[in-house]
Chains A and B, each alone.
Chain A
Amino acid sequence: MFKKIAIPIFALVLFGVFWEFLVWVNGWPNYKMASPSDLWPAFWKFRWLFLEYGWDTLWRTVVGLLLAVVVGVLIGMVMGFSRTMRDALYPLLVGFNAIPKATVVPIIALMFVGQHDFNTILIAFLISFFPIAVSVSIGLSTLEPEYRDILASLGASKLTIFWKIALPKTLPEFFGALKVAVTLAFIGTNLMEIVEPHGRGLGHLFDSGKISADYPLMFAVLIALAIMGIMLYYVVVALEKVFAGWAERSPT
């Protein structure tokens, strides 16, 4: 347990030292590459903004992600259970997913002008539901017929089979996709916060750092985003342990 925490922390410290060293050796000015020692003052100076805006970014990401989970699972169910629906929806989804989301951001911002929270959540959702829908549909459609038959032969309804077998059996794939989705949702939130002038969220703090040429602040935002991303990711990992821990093979 000690090792499990100590090793990543040691790696992080090592990384920080190496970074500081690199900046120092090359004599980079802080607009080219800020060093870790520049970051702390930037954090401290804007500590309340970091907390406030960090919260904005966090809750919008989480709400967008929850939406993506609900809609993604529903679409995945529809595609997983019906071949026709799969054939119909798949190209549509792939095409939609292929559009770079940076181009969608200004369109959404225009469509729902002024509704900042809604815009941000919408983008987080749009960018992250795809992997969830695909993984759930694949999980369901590749369910071996025998798994269905053990309950179907007793006269169980489709819904019962879904609850007792198909859903739990898809959970490992679902969490795999959720790990991807959480990162994507986070990207979506920040894209919108940076592009849209709505004055909230870490994306906005980054933008104001750019405007006022406060380079250490911009780097500090990046670090804050990284920390938040790690947090979200590990929340998903913890949930996975609880709900799909059975899928983890003990090391042999």
Chain B
Amino acid sequence: MPDHTWGDAWVSDKLIEIKGVKHAYQTGDGPLPVLDGLEMSVPEGGFCAVVGPSGCGKSTLTRLVAGLMKPDEGEVWLQGERVTGPKSTVGMAFQNPVLLEWRSILQNVMLPLEIVPTRMSKRDQEARARHLLTLVGLDGFEDKRPSELSGGMRQRASLCRSIVHKPDVLILDEPFGALDAFTREDLWQTMHKVKAEEPFTGVLITHDLRESIFLADQVIVLSGRPARTQYVMDVHLKGERDLDQLYTPESAEALNILRHQIKVAQGRAETDEAAA
């Protein structure tokens, strides 16, 4: 572990915990090590951004946390339980919004409720889905088909679907990656609005450093493949934020450090001492 020491408060109530995880994919030309000794933990209600070079194993990490795959070595813990398979207390959204074309937006958002056992009545389920759509600014689009929405709107719908079953853990794999800068900033603010109303513990994979400090309270930089935890930064911004805060000297400094860490991860800078 580099220059970060875990705060004491973190040790007691870690909702997500990844301990010494190693994983390799079996490919045509032998095993491809992707994760190598990954350490990471997120406290309840925390929001952790993970950045790293392309192809370093970030999506692999999300699949391990979601229980879609088992790590070769090491352990993944959620809510004090070792992850052995998928759990309905997890919500996921991807870069590709993967909305089902044959369902209306409302039906798409309600999809998880058809899988996850819930005590909500049908009427309450629909009310909840409609409420979430309103929250992200999609009121009036409930009965539209996904193909009738813009990319940003689809991503909003996908976000609603990932939280409709009130997951304790939300995993976002570059959900805003394919969007233009303005739409993205818009969605960042939506994200804060959602977080204020629907508390969750989150992991956000991103390749946008400004996004990472705007949304998260902790940023983890992964090294190049095979990935390990290279650097951890506690974000100086707290709670709901506004875009101007990205242009303060503190933010500029934080971004600089992260940018340097990415360079190190990509092997374009020699040491990670200089910036720290």
| B81-99 Cβ-contact flags toward A at 8 Å (1 or 0) | 0000111101110101010
Q: Give the nearest-CB partner of A148 in chain B.
A: B68
Cα distance A31–B68 when bound, in Å? 70
Nearest Cβ on chain A to B245's Cβ, whole angstroms: 33
When the two chains form their complex, are residues A155 and B86 in contact, meaning their CB atoms are under 8 A apart? yes
Among listed B30-38, B108-116, B126-134, interface-contacting one: B108-116
When the two chains form their complex, are residues B114 and A164 in contact, meaning their CB atoms are under 8 A apart? yes
Count A/B pairs, Cβ under 8 Å. 61
Across the interface, B102 reaches (CB within 8 A) one of A149, A156, A160, A246, namely A246
Name the B residues within 8 Å of A146 (CB-CB).
Answer: 94, 96, 98
Q: List B residues 99-127 near A (Cβ within 8 Å).
A: 100-102, 111-112, 114-116
Cα distance A244–B101 when bound, in Å? 10
When the two chains form their complex, are residues B111 and A153 in contact, meaning their CB atoms are under 8 A apart? no
- Is B256 close to A, CB under 8 A? no
Cα distance A53–B233 when bound, in Å? 81
Given A149-B92, A160-B115, A246-B145, A154-B86 contact (CB < 8 Å): yes
When the two chains form their complex, are residues B88 and A154 in contact, meaning their CB atoms are under 8 A apart? yes
Name the A residues within 8 Å of B50 (CB-CB).
Answer: none
When the two chains form their complex, are residues A152 and B68 in contact, meaning their CB atoms are under 8 A apart? yes
Cα distance A171–B96 when bound, in Å? 21
Name the A residues within 8 Å of B66 (CB-CB).
Answer: 149, 153
Main secondary structure of the interface of A (DSSP, over half): helix
When the two chains form their complex, are residues A144 and B165 in contact, meaning their CB atoms are under 8 A apart? no
Name the A residues within 8 Å of B86 (CB-CB).
Answer: 152-156
Name the B residues within 8 Å of A169 (CB-CB).
Answer: 100-102
Name the B residues within 8 Å of A231 (CB-CB).
Answer: none
Across the interface, B92 reaches (CB within 8 A) one of A150, A156, A164, namely A150
Q: List B residues 132-165 near A (Cβ within 8 Å).
A: 145, 147, 161, 165
Given A164-B111, A164-B114, A246-B145, A153-B92 contact (CB < 8 Å): yes
Q: List 23 A-B contacts (CB under 8 A).
A: A146-B96, A149-B92, A149-B94, A150-B94, A152-B86, A153-B86, A153-B91, A153-B92, A154-B86, A154-B165, A155-B87, A155-B88, A155-B115, A156-B86, A160-B115, A164-B114, A168-B100, A168-B102, A169-B101, A169-B102, A246-B101, A246-B102, A246-B145
Residues of B near any A CB (own CB < 8 A): 63, 66-68, 85-88, 90-92, 94, 96, 98, 100-102, 111-112, 114-116, 145, 147, 161, 165, 171
Residues of A near any B CB (own CB < 8 A): 144, 146-147, 149-156, 160, 164-165, 168-169, 171, 244, 246-247, 249
